[in-house]
Amino acid sequence: MKNEGIIIKTIPYKETSKIVYLYTNDGIKSVKALGAKKPKNNSFGFGEIGNIVSYISSDSNFPSVSEYEILYSSYKLTSDYNSIMALSKIIELLNNIPEDSIHHRIYPFVKNIIMNLENNPLKALSIFLIKMTFNFGVSPKLDSCIICGNDNVIDFDFKLGGAICINHSNKDNEFLSIIKEYYKEKKEIEEYSNCDYKKLLSYLNEYYLIHTNIDLKIKW
């Protein structure tokens, strides 16, 4: 069976092998990579977290990989701290993805995010985290005040998880329009507006912690 996926977790299996977990169009799958712990073995690259691979696996309940090809190697990110950090947060979230998510729509989106990480990792991570809120059932409320329902919203409150109106906030928050744009619009990464990503990611870290119980541990 031919498959494609992002490697999100590996665990040792017997002496020299690994069980490899991949995020795919159909959700998380696991396969045995025999000999993957030996550097000279030809399935070594199959066990690298963050790699995107196409592979052929045997047709059984606990399939093993017979052939694979690396479509994207995460190795090239190893010189840039922000890229590695962003990749590790994406992988962590994929490991926690609810089983009933719409995987065939999420997979191509995540693949595109990972393949573009090196250009602007903090922006790519921010877009990923904001769009993914939907899959964790905690979509931000954006069009009316989360406290009173008023449409005249000017601010976004990460703790409450929604927009707030002019009566409940005294500050214009640049992130309300960013979250609206990132959440609702669909375009290439570079076409989205830019903002202060370190600040936004600190807020998103808080948002995920409060609303999904996932601690992404994004710290500067």
Alpha helix locations (H) across 48-191?
A: 81-95, 103-115, 121-132, 174-184
User: Taking CB positions, which residue lies at the least distance from Zn ion?
Assistant: 145
Cβ-proximal residues to 49 (8 Å cutoff; 6+ apart), any chain: 7, 8, 9, 10, 74, 91
| CA atoms of 160 and 141, how far apart (whole Å) | 9
| CA atoms of 139 and 183, how far apart (whole Å) | 9
Side-chain-facing half-sphere of 190: CA atoms under 13 Å: 3
- Residues 173-192, mask of contacts with Zn ion (x by CB under 5 A): --------------------
Q: In whole angstroms, how close is the CB of 155 to Zn ion at the nearest point? A: 10
Of residues 145 and 204, the one with the C-beta less far from Zn ion: 145
Is 163 near Zn ion (CB under 5 A)? no
Is 166 near Zn ion (CB under 5 A)? no
Is 160 near Zn ion (CB under 5 A)? no
Task: Tell which one of 168, 180, 189, 202 touches Zn ion (CB under 5 A).
Answer: 168
Of residues 9 and 168, the one with the C-beta less far from Zn ion: 168
Q: In whole angstroms, how close is the CB of 82 to Zn ion at the nearest point? A: 36
Is 153 near Zn ion (CB under 5 A)? no
Is 148 near Zn ion (CB under 5 A)? yes
Residue 161: strand, helix, or coil = coil
